[in-house]
Amino acid sequence: MAWIGDTRSRHLLYLIMIKTYPYLLDPLPYAYDALEPVIDKETMTIHHDKHHQAYVDNLNKALAENEPLQVKTLTELFFSELPVVKNNAGGVWNHDFFWEELTTPGIGHIGESLMKELEKSFETVDEFMKIFEATALGRFGSGWGWLVQNKDGVLEVLSTANQDNPMVDGFKPLLAIDVWEHAYYLKYKNKRADYVKAFWEVINWDKVEQRLG
């Protein structure tokens, strides 16, 4: 019955791409404790219900009196010259994308097509993981680590500050790791490296593969 999951995933991605003001916070696609013990229930609850909700609320507030921007999609708002709009649009989109790619620990595995692409771009999956971990760890302050596809179809790893999104620079996001402290501090405290290493356990690789162009 894999096609049901595939269809739902494409539908969700489509909805992220086309929604406009006023924005609503979508529920998590699984229970708050579904990622235990890698990401604990309390972190997920605060991260989704407080932080993600705040990006939605702050974006709606900023757009309430800016009619021309109300018809723009989130990805169009990434290019806004107003920091409050750009930052909160990124916060809404990035978290929608992040929740969707996660799953119960230990059940995800890299499919054949994605494996081929990873090996083509990084030679080995181990090398990709090494670069991804170093990039996520190397992001100074708050931000995100990303696996992206460039315009030539080659996979790359990069990081962005704050709520910036690689689409602004023409990359297609495939996998994101939130390295803001709010994503891990309750459980991992100052040990971002432990969070980044554990993160591999909760990736839904089928979702990542579906994002390939």
* Residues annotated in a binding site for Mn(2+): 47, 95, 178, 182
Which CA distances in Å does 143 have to 119, 152, 156, 183? 26, 25, 17, 10
Report how far residue 164's alpha carbon sits from residue 146's, in angstroms, rounded to the nearest whole number.
Answer: 11
Interaction residues for Fe ion, span 182-201 (CB under 5 A): 183
Residue numbering of the annotated binding site: 47, 95, 178, 182
- Fill in the DSSP letter of residue 133: H
Among the listed residues 99, 76, 115, the one whose alpha carbon sits nearest the alpha carbon of residue 175:
99
What is the x/- site pattern for Fe ion, positions 137-176, by CB under 5 A? ----------------------------------------
Asked if residue 178 binds Fe ion (CB under 5 A), the reply is yes
Q: Which is nearer to Fe ion, 51 or 197 (CB)?
A: 51
DSSP result, 146-196: EEEE-TTS-EEEEEEETT--GGGGTPEEEEEEE-SGGGTHHHHTT-HHHHH
Q: Does 96 bind Fe ion (CB under 5 A)?
A: no
- 100 scored as a contact of Fe ion (CB under 5 A): no
The least CB distance from residue 142 to Fe ion, in Å, is 9
Pick between residue 122 and residue 180 the one whose CB is nearest to Fe ion.
Answer: 180
Judged by the rule CB under 5 A, the positions of this chain that interact with Fe ion are: 178, 180, 183
